[in-house]
Amino acid sequence: MPQTHHTVIIGNSQQMPEIANQTIHLMVTSPPYPMIQMWDKQFCELDPKIAALWKKLEAEGKEELVAEIYDAMHQNLARVWAETYRVLIDGGIACINIGDATRSINGKFRVFPNHSRTIEHCEKIGFTTLPYILWKKPTTKPLYKGKGAYLGSGFLPPNAYVTLDCEFILLFRKGKLRKFPPHDPTRYASKLTKQQRDEWFSQIWNVTGTHQTANELERRTAAYPDEIPERLVRMFSVKGDCVLDPFLGSGTTTKVAVETGRESVGYEADQNLLPLLRKKIEALKVAMAEVRVVKR
């Protein structure tokens, strides 16, 4: 396999000055999910407006502030989707793994439909929405009154809630279909098997999460299992293409890019993940890959 090149940039991907226009073939990522509590702190650090809105909500308890916080979180993500649009080639694909959030705020339980808000933002930016994938995770316990367990009285209608046990893998294209010369050897060398084609292009994916195997830090990063980016990279790029992950976390997308003969660029805002990233990268160097870490 020819040597491939990989760059990890420690910095905020809302601006990607390191990447020239139209040089990325595929984006595969999983952002922090708006309104999932574990990401509140990071959204506040990245955007002081969000921190101020949470404080105001605490003090005043006004319902409309919840909608403002939710909007502001998605606007932060949308800046990254707009930068992604700029760097993708014509015909390039963007894959976004995102889950909806359920949460009780000021005693009111509700769902925050992150997938539909993301589609709205990406459409406004200019992306074309393609048929998407539902990643079905092993079922957790159904909810009752917004709490984690389905209590005995949950058998009585009508106040129990449906469990969200699917995440979305949203798919978008920039511009027109990508074109290749007839019988392009790289494209043929990247061909899927019939079994892969049948399974991967069906809408529901039963893929086990990382929890059983990941270490503590990786679990806190909410790392996706290798199988998710691996399928996406192999479905939507050819060998030698460059894959972007603007929310790199523990570096799963970089690892998969190395293993599938693609190049990659990844961004990660949290410096504390550097040791974990370096560890993953060290293990990859044997695989004919040149990986460099750049601190902004």
Ligand X SMILES: C[S@@+](CC[C@H](N)C(=O)[O-])C[C@H]1O[C@@H](n2cnc3c(N)ncnc32)[C@H](O)[C@@H]1O
Question: Considering only residues 22, 42, 102, 129, which one is a binding residue for ligand X as defined by CB under 6 A?
Answer: 42
Q: Which stretch binds ligand X (CB under 6 A): 6-14, 132-140, 197-205, 280-288?
A: 6-14
Task: Give residues 236-255 in contact with ligand X (rule: CB under 6 A).
Answer: 246-247, 249-250, 252
- Residue 47 as a binder of ligand X (CB under 6 A): the answer is no
- Residue 266 as a binder of ligand X (CB under 6 A): the answer is no
**Of residues 122 and 178, the one with the C-beta less far from ligand X:** 122
Angstrom distances, CA of residue 231 to CA of 71, 129, 177? 31, 19, 20
Number of Cβ within a 10 Å radius of residue 78: 18
- Residue 118 as a binder of ligand X (CB under 6 A): the answer is no
**Of residues 178 and 214, the one with the C-beta less far from ligand X:** 214
- Residue 112 as a binder of ligand X (CB under 6 A): the answer is no
> Angle 278-265-199 (CA atoms, 0-180°, nearest 5)?
100
Question: Considering only residues 69, 125, 223, 291, which one is a binding residue for ligand X as defined by CB under 6 A?
Answer: 223
**Of residues 128 and 140, the one with the C-beta less far from ligand X:** 140
Q: Under rule CB under 6 A, how many of the chain's residues touch ligand X?
A: 23
**Of residues 39 and 132, the one with the C-beta less far from ligand X:** 39
Q: Which stretch binds ligand X (CB under 6 A): 86-94, 128-136, 179-187, 222-230?
A: 222-230
Note whether 126 and 138 are within 8 A (CB). Answer: no
Note whether 243 and 24 are within 8 A (CB). Answer: yes
Angstrom distances, CA of residue 118 to CA of 19, 156, 256? 23, 35, 25
Cross-strand partners of 26: 93, 243
Note whether 96 and 29 are within 8 A (CB). Answer: yes
C-alpha–C-alpha distance, residues 23 and 157, integer Å:
54
**Of residues 53 and 222, the one with the C-beta less far from ligand X:** 222
Q: Which stretch binds ligand X (CB under 6 A): 121-129, 177-185, 215-223, 257-265?
A: 215-223
**Of residues 38 and 111, the one with the C-beta less far from ligand X:** 38
Residue 159 CB, nearest distance to ligand X (Å)? 32
R_g of the chain computed on alpha carbons: 20
Question: Considering only residues 100, 224, 254, 263, which one is a binding residue for ligand X as defined by CB under 6 A?
Answer: 224
Can you spell out the DSSP letters for 175-219?
A: SSPP---TT-HHHHHTPPPHHHHHHHTSSEEE---STTT--HHHH
C-alpha–C-alpha distance, residues 270 and 53, integer Å:
23
- Residue 14 as a binder of ligand X (CB under 6 A): the answer is yes
- Residue 270 as a binder of ligand X (CB under 6 A): the answer is yes
C-alpha–C-alpha distance, residues 219 and 230, integer Å:
19
For 274, phi and psi rounded to 5 degrees? -55, -45
Question: Considering only residues 32, 34, 92, 261, which one is a binding residue for ligand X as defined by CB under 6 A?
Answer: 32
Note whether 140 and 163 are within 8 A (CB). Answer: yes
**Of residues 134 and 274, the one with the C-beta less far from ligand X:** 274
Q: Which stretch binds ligand X (CB under 6 A): 8-16, 119-127, 154-162, 180-188?
A: 8-16
Binding site residues, ligand X, CB under 6 A = 12-14, 30-32, 42, 46, 80, 221-224, 246-247, 249-250, 252, 267-270, 273
